[in-house]
Amino acid sequence: MILHIDMDAFFASIEQAINPKLKGKPLIVGSRQNKMHTVVCAASYEAKALGIDSGMPSADAFRICPNLEFVPAEQSKYIWTSEQICKILEDFGYQICYASIDEFQMDIAGLEQPLNLAKNIQDKIYKAFGITASIGIAKNCLLAKLGSKINKPRGITIINEQNLDDILFKTPVKKLRGVGQKFGLVLDNLGIKTCLDLYQKTPYFMKRNFGQNGVNFYEELHANDRFQIQERPDKPKSIGHSYTLPRASRNPEFIKAWVRLLAEMVAKRLREANLVSRTVHLWLNGPEIGNFGAQKTFCEPNNDGVEIYRRCLKVMAKSGSKRLKIRALGVSCSGLLENQYYAPLFREQRKGESLIKAMDKINDRLGQNTIFPAVVFLTQRMQ
């Protein structure tokens, strides 16, 4: 069984929790300071009730609701909250999958009373951050994610053998992850309107109409998922972070600022684990490039965010273009080694090391991202 946690209106809910004056009001989070010339990154449930949702031009949102509250996005704040939620989930002792910044999955195979666990998770997250989560529980990741969407906000949906057909019959097929606009149109033309219509198709039907991708989708929909059970190693094989942008961007400085932020986050985790890395992997996704991933191994292991960022830029050069349109990106480090400390020989190296230690000390004491590289501000202001 898989338990899928989906945070409710994540960015907007965080802003409302931080500023109680915003609670109960229609609110949008935008990606720029100019509230009339941006795109809605997130909308509160009060705004959603008026027909406002993410991806909508902010000017259209203000036409619907002139008194709409607006808050500029602060991505580092949302990423930090996401990481803290993940730590709360790890304390329950189950295998965790970090699905995205606002979604997490947990392998709860063998648990007889998953409803109690789901309520406990919701309560702990709300107590810690004042924000809510919806939870779906099912035999596989695809159905569990579907369940988390059914009773928002702060809903819990368990999909089992007894209610599977009834729930899938009532749910439009477009609600399934992986059924986009084009795929949905093809399914509609084949008379497949509900999730149950698709669930009842045979592998032969899926292969005849969609090829191997159809077979893969069938298997994902019918699977009994288990996460690979791992003994907690003393040293992880890799450490990484990824992020999906509110919309695709072609601005190279904006993209590089995000690479820098992710590199800093990875570097901080390396230092916390007393590890250094020799191999840097960069992942980019966009409408023109598709999925691009490349890595490079360096002679000198490192856990400095600036150096990891520089190495990422060298990997990025392999993509062959300076103005790619990017929708999502990720930075990870592998080839991990225990950090065997040797005092730096050169003055500049000693200064850099002192700066890193000072930043870590301040952030550990006052909160993550209390102090950070100024270039990270571009993740909030430029697209």
Q: What percentage of the chain reaches a pLDDT higher than 90?
A: 43
What is the structure's pLDDT at 180? 78
> Residue 321 pLDDT more than 80?
no
Q: Could you tell me which CATH number the domain at 238-381 has?
A: 3.30.1490.100
Say which residue the tokens 């368990």 belong to: 158
What SS3 class is residue 196? helix
Which amino acid, residue 325?
Answer: K
Assign 3-class secondary structure to 138-176.
ECCHHHHHHHHHHCCCCCEEECCCCCHHHHHHHCEHHHC
Structure tokens of 378? Answer: 């571009």
Q: Judge: domain 92-222, CATH 3.40.50.970.
A: no
What is the structure's pLDDT at 235? 65
Fold equal for 8-76 and 92-222 = no
Q: Could you tell me which CATH number the domain at 8-76 has?
A: 3.40.1170.60
Summarize pLDDT for 185-194 with one digit per residue, the tens: 999 999 999 9
What is the structure's pLDDT at 357? 57
Q: Is the dihedral of CA 152, 243, 13, 28 positive or negative?
A: negative
The secondary structure of residue 319, as a DSSP letter, is G
Structure tokens of 376? Answer: 């990270």
Q: What is the pTM of this model?
A: 0.64
Summarize pLDDT for 44-96 with one digit per residue, the tens: 999 999 999 888 888 999 999 999 999 988 777 888 888 899 889 999 999 88
| b (16+ CB within 10 A) / e for 232-266 | eeeebeebbbebebbeebeeeebbbbbbbbbbbbb
Sheet strands (E) in the chain: 2-7, 27-30, 40-43, 69-72, 95-100, 103-107, 133-138, 156-158, 238-249, 275-286, 290-302, 326-338
Which amino acid, residue 286?
Answer: G
Distances 348 to 110, 301, 372 between C-alpha atoms, Å: 55, 18, 20
Residues 6 or more apart whose Cβ sits within 8 Å of residue 381: 32, 33, 72
Structure tokens of 162? Answer: 């007894």
Average pLDDT over residues 121-142: 95
Q: Domain locations in the chain?
A: 8-76, 92-222, 238-381
Residues 6 or more apart whose Cβ sits within 8 Å of residue 119: 156
Q: Residue 222 belongs to what H/E stretch?
A: helix 203-222
Is the previous residue joined to 72 through a cis bond, with omega within 30 degrees of 0?
Answer: no
Say how far apart CA 217 and CA 210 lie, in whole Å.
9
Q: Which residues are catalytic?
A: 103
What is the structure's pLDDT at 213? 86
